Amino acid sequence: MQKLTALILTLVLSGCVFPGVYKINVQQGNIVTDEELTQLTEGLPRSQVHAVMGTPLMLNPVDPSREYYVYTFQREGGDIQEQRIIVYYEGDQYAYYEAQLLEETPAY
pLDDT mean values, one per 10 residues, the chain (108 residues): 78 62 80 88 93 89 91 84 92 92 72
Tell whether pTM > 0.85.
no
Q: Would you state the pLDDT for residue 1? A: 78
Q: Would you state the pLDDT for residue 13? A: 65
* Spatial separation of the C-alpha atoms in residues 30 and 52, rounded to whole Å: 12
* Spatial separation of the C-alpha atoms in residues 59 and 67, rounded to whole Å: 5
Q: How many CA atoms does the CB half-sphere of 93 hold within 13 Å?
A: 4
Q: Would you state the pLDDT for residue 35? A: 87
